[in-house]
Amino acid sequence: MSYVGPDFDPPQPRRSRRRVLTVALAALVPGALLGWVMYEAVGGDGGSSGNAAVQPSQARSDTAPTDSTTSDDKPPGPTPTTDSTSAPAASGSLKGKVVVIDPGHNPGNFQHTSEINRKVNIGTNWKECDTTGTSTNDGYSEAEFTLDVAHRMRTLLEKQGATVKFTQDGDRSWGPCVDERAEIGNKAQADAVVSIHADGAGAGQRGFHVILPGKVDEGAASTGPIVAPSRALGERIAGSFVRVTGNAPSNYIGDGTGLVTRKDLGGLNLSTVPKVFIECGNMRDSKDAAQLTNGAWRQKAAQGISEGIVSFLRG
């Protein structure tokens, strides 16, 4: 997400071949992540982190949501353990389940710097309301990326019967602030909240990572009840993201697990429902950027995140 400020911010077995494969997949996820650690140790790229805030670029022509996940530019990495073009593994309806998708930043934030720079209470201290986010070197903004992935996720999750709500849909001139983003999920009594981002680290730093809430009990922040379910949500998303996209966990944070715990993010600290962030890749690395700007890959990213949510909600 590369904020300018610090707040950058198994399914139950069934006696069918499909569910057996699903359970086997869940068991293999830690191994898949460990395998990526070995891959990165042998041939991965390294580098130092860095952040950048930019203005939104001209919209890309391939941003329209599509159900197709076929791509000729499959990212490097091990072969997924199951067909990445399949529908979510678990069957049945998510009717009655509420998912809140939080597309990070807002395309209009750069025009409202005074508003987004004002401080809000995140429980432990005060942080900036929001930031502009980062972009690729060619100017494709994080805010454009997060909205596109969010739209694709909504289509997939609504097909499963879930009620999907957004914290913003490009329908407001700036924001919302991080405290309001958390409040939207809380008021919706969401069963799961996922905040979509892309990082702005240094070139050579690649891969995704999922940010989990740490245990915080200070001021307005009391995350104790959501720490365990949020971790379960994050683990399901990380495993599905590896399987569907074929992408490695981050080689610069998370020790190769794709999971990072933080206590300084208002969007997590103020949440009273299970919530995680996902940094889908590094916009400042040319290889990651080539994927993040590709519509077919974004569909895979949306599918990977959505399948993790579905798996979590079905227990």
Q: Strand 209-213: give its sheet, edge to edge.
A: 163-166, 98-103, 192-199, 275-282, 209-213, 259-262
DSSP 111: G
Measure the CA–CA gap between 31 and 26, rounded to whole angstroms.
10
- 222 beta partners: 217
Measure the CA–CA gap between 129 and 181, rounded to whole angstroms.
10
Query: Cβ distance 292 to 2 under 8 Å?
Result: no
Measure the CA–CA gap between 102 and 176, rounded to whole angstroms.
10
Measure the CA–CA gap between 157 and 147, rounded to whole angstroms.
15
- 196 beta partners: 103, 278
Q: How many residues does the chain have?
A: 315
Which active-site residues does the annotation give?
A: 279
